[in-house]
Every structure is written in C-alpha cells, then in structure tokens.
Amino acid sequence: MAKLPTPQMLVASRPAFPDKSWLDTKPEFTPGSFCYPAKKETMELLHMPNPHDWDPAAEDWNLPENWEKILCDAFADRLEKHRSLKLFMDICVRCGACADKCHFFLGTNDPKNMPVLRAELLRSLYRRDYTMLGKILGKKAGARGWDMSVVKELFYYAYQCTECRRCSLFCPYGIDTAEITAIVRELLHEVGLGIHWIMDPVKNCSFTGNHLGIQPHSFVEIVEMLADDCETITGIRPKTPFNEKGHEILFITPSGDVFADPGIYTFMGYLMLFHELDLDYTFSTYASEGGNFGSFTSFNMAKKLNAKMYAEAERLGVKWILGGECGHMWRVINQYMDTYNGPSPANMEVPVSPITGTVFSNAASTKMVHIAEFTADLIRHNKLRLDPSRNDHIITTFHDSCNPARAMGLLDEPRYVLRHVCNNFVEMPENTIREQTFCCGAGSGLNTEEIMELRMRSGMPRGNALRYVQQKDGVNHMACVCAIDRATLPPLADYWAPGVTVSGLHELVGNALIMKGEGKRTMDMRQEDLPNVAEDEPEESPADAPEAQGEGQ
C-alpha cells in the first residue's frame, strides 16, 4: 500500500547547522535562481572572449579547454590593474559588520550572500596563489584552488549582488563588494560567461544607441508620440529636437524612459520642463542611451558605451550635457566617465544654467549636470511656476537609488525638488534611506523576469520599509531617480506593499508645472483624472520656495 507522506515529510525538515564549511557547500542551480545565459551570437558580435552556448543548469558549462589558465591569468592581470582588488583581498578582518547590511542576505538568508563571504569566494582563490599562509596551510587557512564548482559558485553569487555598495559604507576599511563583484563578472566574461539580460542591451546600445535596438527614425517617432501625449494633457506640444547641431545642451537619459511604463511619464516631464524653459537643447539618436549596461559587464565595455556621449557632444558642438534620472548611469558619469573618455571635447564649457546663470562648478571637468541639480536650482531661483496641489492625491516617499546615494551623494537635490512639487512627502525609516538606502533588489542588470522570486526576496528589506510608511503615514506613492528602479519597484511594491505606485521625480515635476498658455489640467501625466481639480479656475499661487531668495548669478 502506498503511503502518503506526512506534512513533516513534505516540508522536509533539515538537519541543523551545516557540518560542512562554506568552502564545501555548493549552490544549486534551480530554475529561478539564475539569469539566462547570453546568446553566443550576441557575444560574438561584441567580440567578447570565448563565446559559446551554455546552460547554467547543466553539469557542463562548455568552457574553453584552458579555462583555468585564462581565469588565473585574468585574475593576476586585474590584481596588477586595481589596487582596490589587492587591498580588498588582503585586509578584510572578517568582523562581520557587513553581514546584515546586504539586502540579498537579509532576504535570502544564504550565508554566502553576506558580503564578506561573497568576497571570500574570490579571496580563497587569492590565498592559494598569493599568500604564504594559504600556500602552506591550504584549506586550513581558507585557501582553495580553481575548479569547475568554484566557477559556478562565483557566477551564482556575482549575479546575486546588485553592486549597491551598502556594505562598503559600513566596512571599517571601506571594502567595496561592488568592486569585487564587478571584477568577478569581468573574470567570468573572460571564459564566455555572461547573462542575456545584460548582454542583449549592451549589444543594442552599442549598435543602435538604445537598449531595445530601435532604429533612429523609429526612436524619433516614439519620442514624438510622447510629445503628442504632452499636448493631450496640457494643450502644448513640446518640441523634440534631434541630432541638431549648434545647441547649448545635449540631453541624455536612459532609453528605458522612452519605451517603458512608467518611465515614459518622467520623459514627458522632461519634455514639458524644457519646453517651458525654452531650453536650447537637443536629443541625440546616436547617444540616446544614458544607462550603461556595459558597467555590469566589464570596465572596458562601460568605457566603450560611454564613449558615445563625448563623441556626440563634440560632433554636435554643445557646451555641456544634461543627464536624466538614472542610477548606474550616474555612477559611470560621476566616477568613471572623465577617466574613461575624458578630457571632454574642446568645444565643451563648464556648465552654466542658461536660465539662472548658476555655474555648476562641481561638474567643471566632466561637464555633465544631473537633472535634479538643474531643476533644484531652477526652483531655488523661482524660475518655475509650480502647483504642487496637483499632486495632492499622492502621499509620496522617496527611494534613494544606490548609485546616486553611495557613489555620488545626490541626496538632497531630489528631495528639494520633491518638496516643491508635492505637498505630502514622508521619509521611510531611518537606516533605510539616504546613504543607507536599501536596493530595489534588482539593480546591476538583475531586473529580469526569470528571477522574479529572487528579486522579491532581495527587495524585501526595501519592500518592508515601504510597507511600514504605507501603514503608518498612508503613503501611496514612491518617487525615485533611477530608470531601473522605475522598472523594478512596481512589481516589488505590488508584492510587498500593494497600492503604492512608482514614478520618477520629473513625472511629478511635470504634473505640478504650470506652463505658459497651457489648458486647464484635468488629468495627470498618465492621463488619469486629477482628483483635486477644482471646478473653477484654481487660484494661481506661485508655490515655489518662499525662503531666502538665491542670488541670480
């Protein structure tokens, strides 16, 4: 007689703490725990080393014959190139302060998602070849050699890290797991291991200028549709200048905002803002991608994609570049761009706001200004007429995106703007915002749907904080300054804090912006009815900063 399993058998109680050390436990590649591999053709097209077909769930990953040598050599090469790597391999004292800072660890409880152990995966290999103790004592001192299971382990955990740098903030030596993850991913690319969700956009950005591979003429048409939508809402059709020479400013934003809901509404916010200011600017179809998927691949790929920005600025003869809301795009611009592809072309000048005359001396060399800085400055100088009551139907909180927060320090500019376009703004709990912000759980190229469950787990700390303010303050909206956040936070909110919508900062700006000669606003940027529209003409109050007027120059 067949026996039915008991509930206990079904849920399969497991033994207590592992007897085996972390060096011996290996990850299981179950569906949903890994991203799909990059296509061979994509890798070939991009001239990536050792392109091949493989499947993470398979036993054999079809690595090239001499993979061990390739990896050892590549590792040695990276050690020579990055002091950070040498240092981070040497000085970790394993104090464990980073452990519960990682959203992946908090969400998955996998000990190897503690930043210290994630780095230790690579460090164990370093010990064998580069430290005396490791050479002598081997495994006793936590050293081990390369083998296939180690490569798989590196892949597994390098793609369970969003390079958010939260651990780095708390590390007494500033050990940055993002640096280690980035280098591990570089090593894996040396033997042809990459993921589809990153490499496909890399290919598209490289050859067409946007992450979906839309050709230039179509791209323009799509942007024009957004301008049409602006007209529907405001009665004014903003201009959409493309590839035009002789303008003062080149505007670059992630192409996701041209294609993806709800990013498109942020993009419409830009169009309306620029039109209202009569800004002398142009878009480019060639450099239409601000986001840099190359930065999730290798330093060199990031450089390659980023190079188009200065090249286009030079060709079009602009004075400076204005950058849209995006997380990793700004990590690249703030910390890498000038180093990669600088110095900026001769025709460029230190950015000066043509409206307020403010000199952005903090961008004197890169010559690229963040839209939040730009708009905050406009509001400060009373150059915008805003009606924040149009956003009265939302109680918003602000999600600091990891890269602007911890690799740039852009914290108060977006808040300044938000406070002026929204009457109801509530912060999430301390220790989950500003430089201590929790990642959306799917940054650095992990926002792919095949790992949705994993994303819900890793985004849980963020989701919890959001739910808390939802319960406490009735928050129903979350603003952010990152295109990836705009893609990843909606499912996260739907799951952990249903009822909270997500938008970019400039969608709210667009909503509140009173344009010259606009029709009466009855709908918001999403063409949904504005609930707070008064029957008669709303009184026109310049709701901008009343406090101490800034000087114009």
Partner 1 sequence: MFSSLLLVLLIGAIAWVGASAGLASLFGVALPYVAAVVFIVGMVWRMAYWAKSPVPFCIPTTGGQEQSLDFIKQNKIDCPSTTWGVVQRMFLEVFFFRSLFRNSLADVRESDPVSNGPRSIYYSSKWLWVFALLFHYCFLLVFIRHFRFFMEPVPSCITFLESIDGIMQIGAPRFFWTGGLALVALLFLLARRIFNQRLRYLSLLNDYFPLWLLIAIVGTGICLRYFDKTEIAQVKIFVMGLTHFAPVSGADINALFFVHLTLVSVLLLYFPFSKLAHMPGVFFSPTRNQANNSRRVRHINPWNPPKQYFTYPEYEDTYRDAMAEAGLPLEKQPEKAAE
Partner 2 sequence: MNIQEIFRSQKNDVVRLWTEAVYSTYPFETTGFLRTKRDPFGNPVAHMTREAAGTLYDAVAGEEVEIDTVKAALERFVKLRAVQTFTPSQGLGVFYLMKPLLRERILPALAAQAELDAYLTAESRLDSLALLAFDIYTAARETLAESRIKEIRNQHAQLARWAQRLEEGPSGAR
- Quick one: DSSP state of residue 36? P
Give kind and range of the element (H or E) at residue 369. Answer: strand 368-370
- CB of 210 within 8 A of CB of 255? yes
**Binds 30: which of partner 1, partner 2, none (CB < 5-8 Å by kind):** partner 2
**Binds 365: which of partner 1, partner 2, none (CB < 5-8 Å by kind):** partner 1
Shorter beta-carbon distance to partner 2: residue 51 or 445: 445
The torsion angle over the Cα atoms of residues 512, 369, 410 and 446, rounded to 10 degrees, is 90
Binding status of residue 116 toward partner 1 by CB under 8 A: yes
CA nearest to 239, candidates 519, 526, 231: 231
Among 38, 48, 71, 85, binds partner 1 (CB under 8 A): 85
Interaction with partner 1 in 472-511: which residues (CB under 8 A)? 472
**Binds 13: which of partner 2, partner 1, none (CB < 5-8 Å by kind):** partner 2
Give the range of 89-97, 99-107, 371-379, 472-480 binding partner 2 by CB under 8 A.
Answer: 99-107
Binding to partner 2 by CB under 8 A, coded x per residue (else -) over 262-301, reads: x-x-------------------------------------
CA distance linking residue 321 with residue 385, whole number of Å? 24
Return the residue matching tokens 């399993």.
Answer: 5
The torsion angle over the Cα atoms of residues 328, 331, 336 and 338, rounded to 10 degrees, is 110
In sequence order, the 6+-apart residues with CB closer than 8 A to the CB of 513 are 269, 272, 273, 276, 384, 385, 386, 421
CA distance linking residue 296 with residue 440, whole number of Å? 16
Assign 136 to helix, strand or coil. Answer: helix
Binding status of residue 345 toward partner 2 by CB under 8 A: no
Binding status of residue 358 toward partner 1 by CB under 8 A: yes
Strand partners, 175: none
For residue 107, the minimal CB distance to partner 2 (Å) is 7
The count of other CB atoms within 10 Å of the CB of residue 136 is: 10
Binding to partner 1 by CB under 8 A, coded x per residue (else -) over 285-324, reads: xx------------xx--xxx-xx--xx--x---------
- CB of 407 within 8 A of CB of 327? no
Interaction with partner 1 in 244-263: which residues (CB under 8 A)? 244-245
Binding status of residue 510 toward partner 2 by CB under 8 A: no
- Total of chain residues touching partner 2, rule CB under 8 A: 53
285-288 own/partner pairs: CB under 8 Å, 24+ apart: 285/209, 285/216, 285/219, 285/220, 285/242, 285/243, 286/209, 286/216, 286/243, 286/312, 287/209, 287/250, 287/252, 287/311, 287/312, 287/313, 288/209, 288/210, 288/219, 288/252, 288/255, 288/258
**Binds 258: which of partner 1, partner 2, none (CB < 5-8 Å by kind):** partner 2
Binding status of residue 340 toward partner 2 by CB under 8 A: no
Interaction with partner 1 in 394-423: which residues (CB under 8 A)? 405-413, 416
For residue 284, the minimal CB distance to partner 2 (Å) is 18
Say how far residue 457 (Cα) sits from the centre of its chain: 18
CA distance linking residue 227 with residue 385, whole number of Å? 20
**Binds 432: which of partner 1, partner 2, none (CB < 5-8 Å by kind):** partner 1
Interaction with partner 2 in 436-455: which residues (CB under 8 A)? 449, 452-454
- Total of chain residues touching partner 1, rule CB under 8 A: 116
**Binds 490: which of partner 1, partner 2, none (CB < 5-8 Å by kind):** partner 2
Interaction with partner 1 in 174-213: which residues (CB under 8 A)? 174-176, 179, 206-209
Strand partners, 425: 396
CA distance linking residue 244 with residue 282, whole number of Å? 6
**Binds 108: which of partner 1, partner 2, none (CB < 5-8 Å by kind):** partner 2
Shorter beta-carbon distance to partner 2: residue 321 or 487: 487
Shorter beta-carbon distance to partner 2: residue 79 or 106: 106
**Which residues contact partner 2 by CB under 8 A?**
7-8, 10-18, 25, 30, 32-33, 100, 105-111, 212, 214, 218, 221-222, 225-226, 256, 258-262, 264, 449, 452-454, 456-457, 460-461, 464, 487, 490-491, 494-496, 498
